[in-house]
Amino acid sequence: MPNDMEWSSLFETSMRKFLCLSIIPLLLTPVLRSAPDEEVMSRGKALYHAAGSCVACHMADGKGQPGSIPPLAGSDWLKGKADRTIAIVLRGMTGPIKVNGKRFYSAMPPQLLFDDEKIALMITYVNNAWGNQGPMVTTEEVAEARETLPMEVYTSHSIVKAFPFEKEFQKKNGPYKPNFDDLLTTVTEPIVYRTFMPGASPAAFAIALPGNQYYCWDAGECRLQYVWTKGGFIRGNQVHWSSNGKPVAEFNGTPYYRARSSQLAPEDYSSLGDTNRTTPFYDTTEATDFPVKIKGVAELPRYRGYRLIDGYPEFRSTLGRYTITELIKSTDDNLGIVRSFTVSPPTELTFHLTPTEEASITSSSGELSDDGTLRLSESDSENFQITIIEKNPAGITK
Ligand code: HEC
């Protein structure tokens, strides 16, 4: 007679057999799949949790982080074949996506730390953890993808084009057209984009400052073109990946300060948001509207480059023998910007600002007249700040 112990293990064994032979295949019909064995799952799990691995973003419970990182637990992106996931992990992905109907607009860098076997284990784990039921991935599949996939980061459009969703998952997943609210994230570090901006020469920068002040600085004209905060930052990555064939950054901002310019009338700026264009447009390629005038200097300014100071660009131009630098930060209360200038050698000069109803303008030194002319003495010019504050900041109505 078997004793109690043996009975219970006999029972377990037969239950297990029963479960395996009858219930599980029933549950899984019509799709027959075999789950990965424990060793594969535990190796995959360890790799998923390794420093700098998936866990850093998608979290231990696979739920991601609301609003910024999509979930892997229960993700429709993981259903069907694993080739799309392999591509995302090997090459990265950026752009607006929906996962199970929720929107994300972020970027996943390619996972370069792991060899083919490790990636196969991690994806197998992700496909079968937290109740997911996806395919196992082999080292060979990853190796082949690594060899054959294009060497570039996928956009949300290119990934779905290359690896379409099955019909039933199409609606709730894939790329979407962002509205500018999607871009109204909190900027914590300066972001510097070199891109085609509306209303600027082709050598423009778009910069986002901590405090969510944004500006366009035009290297072609050696000057600040405009500053805005309403409407969010540009849709930068559409320019970088040029997935839509439009070279001009999509821009929905409302500048609260604009440079006086030679060909664009102030009212033209109200159509800056009209970026359904395929060519950049700008007022002039020559810096004839340079704001600094120095007596006896007839030359046009020349752009000499920029350097980053704590991530903030400091632009350098020369006007004759004078070197002028400009560095822009948000004001402490984030309601405007502070433009810090140096002039060397220092010299008496006038600086032309554009008075506007929408902003108040002050200077740390010199005399600023109503028409926007700032007069600086030689000693004032060495180092001065111009502060521009938006009078009617975003979200606050008059
Ligand atoms: C640095 C953060 C980060 C890391 C590390 C990371 N991801 Fe992602 N992942 C993201 C972001 C952000 C997205 C969404 C990208 C977008 O918005 O276009 C994403 C999207 C995905 C998607 C498609 C959408 C979804 O939720 O199903 C899959 C699959 C995925 N990641 C798998 C992985 C796997 C597997 C690893 C580890 C090998 C990993 N990721 C590592 C940030 C990360």
Give residue-wise pLDDT tens across range 222-261.
Answer: 999 999 987 778 865 444 434 444 566 777 777 889 887 6
Closest alpha carbon to 378 in 353, 352, 344: 344
Beta carbons of 219 and 203 less than 8 angstroms apart: yes
Q: 58-62, 183-187, 230-234: lowest mean pLDDT where?
A: 183-187
pLDDT value, residue 22: 40
Rg (CA), the chain: 29
Encode pLDDT of 368-391 as tens digits.
Answer: 999 999 999 999 999 999 999 998
Rounded CA separation 228/233 (Å): 9
Determine the pLDDT at residue 398: 31
In angstroms, the Cα distances linking 298 to 284, 288, 322 are: 18, 11, 12
Mean pLDDT of the 205-217 span:
92
pLDDT digits over 153-173, tens only? 999 999 999 999 999 998 899
Query: By alpha-carbon position, which residue is closest to atom 43 of ligand 1?
Result: 108
Report the chain's terminal Cα–Cα distance, integer Å: 90
For the cut 60, the answer to whether the pLDDT of residue 302 exceeds it is yes
- pLDDT score at 196: 77
Which residue's CA is the closest to the ligand 1 atom numbered 17?
106
Beta-carbon contacts of residue 106 (< 8 Å; ≥ 6 apart): 68, 69, 94
Please state, for a pLDDT cut of 90, what percent of the chain lies above it: 55
Instruction: Quote the distance between the C-alpha of residue 398 and its chain's center.
Output: 32
Please give the distance of CA 88 from its chain centroid, rounded to a whole number.
17
Q: Which ligand 1 atom sits nearest the alpha carbon of residue 77?
A: 27
Q: Whose CA is nearest to atom 34 of ligand 1?
A: 54
- The closest residue, in CA terms, to atom 40 on ligand 1 is 54
Q: What is the pLDDT of residue 283?
A: 52
Å from CA of 111 to ligand 1 middle: 9
Q: Give the C-alpha separation, 268 to 207, whole Å.
A: 22
Q: Return the pLDDT at 153.
A: 92
Separation between Cα atoms, residue 203 and residue 197, nearest integer Å: 9
d(CA 396, CA 57): 35
pLDDT of residue 16: 43
Least confident of 76-80, 141-145, 215-219, 282-286: 282-286
Is the pLDDT at 293 greater than 80, yes or no? yes
| Residue showing tokens 């850093």 | 56
pLDDT-derived band at 63 (thresholds 50, 70, 90) equals very high
Task: Find the 79 Cα to ligand 1 centroid distance in Å.
Answer: 15
**Lowest mean per-residue pLDDT among 16-30, 56-70, 144-158, 307-321:** 16-30
**Residue 184 binned pLDDT confidence (cut-offs 50, 70, 90):** low
Which of 108, 146, 158, 160 is the pocket-test mutation for ligand 1 (most atoms within 8 Å of CB)?
A: 108
Examine the pLDDT at 86 and tell me if it is beyond 90.
yes
- Across the chain, mean pLDDT equals 83
CA of 187 to the centre of ligand 1 (A): 21
- For residue 276, is pLDDT > 90? no
Span from the CA of 70 to the centroid of ligand 1 (angstroms): 7
What does each C-alpha distance from 357 to 159, 269, 370 come to in angstroms? 46, 15, 12
| Whether residue 67 has pLDDT greater than 80 | no
Q: Which residue has the higher pLDDT, 281 or 384?
A: 384
191 burial class (0-12, 13-18, 19+ CB within 10 angstroms)?
A: middle
pLDDT for 57 beyond 80: yes
**pLDDT of 23:** 42
219 has pLDDT over 60: yes
Q: Which residue has the higher pLDDT, 282 or 111?
A: 111
Instruction: Give the mean model confidence (pLDDT) for residues 52-63.
Output: 94
pLDDT recorded at residue 268: 60
Alpha carbon of 71 to ligand 1 centroid (Å): 8
Q: pLDDT, tens digit, for every residue of 7-51?
A: 344 334 444 443 344 444 444 444 445 788 999 999 999 999 998
pLDDT digits (tens, 9 = 90+) for 346-372: 999 999 999 988 899 999 999 999 999
List own/partner pairs for 325-334 with CB under 8 A and 24 or more apart: 326/217, 326/224, 328/207, 328/209, 328/215, 328/217, 328/224, 329/209, 330/209, 330/210, 330/211, 330/212, 330/213, 331/211, 331/387, 331/389, 334/211, 334/212, 334/213
Provide mean pLDDT across the span 162-185: 82
Assign 304 a pLDDT band (cuts: 50, 70, 90). Answer: very high
The pLDDT of residue 136 is 96
Neighbours of 227 (CB within 10 A): 25
Using the atom order of ligand 1, give the atom closest to the CA of residue 111. Answer: 38
**Ligand 1, CB within 6 Å, residue ranges:** 53-54, 56-58, 69-72, 75, 77-78, 85, 88-89, 93-95, 97, 99, 104-109, 111, 122-123, 126, 156
The protein residue with its alpha carbon nearest to ligand 1, atom 42, reads: 108
Report how far ligand 1's centroid is from the alpha carbon of 58 (Å): 7
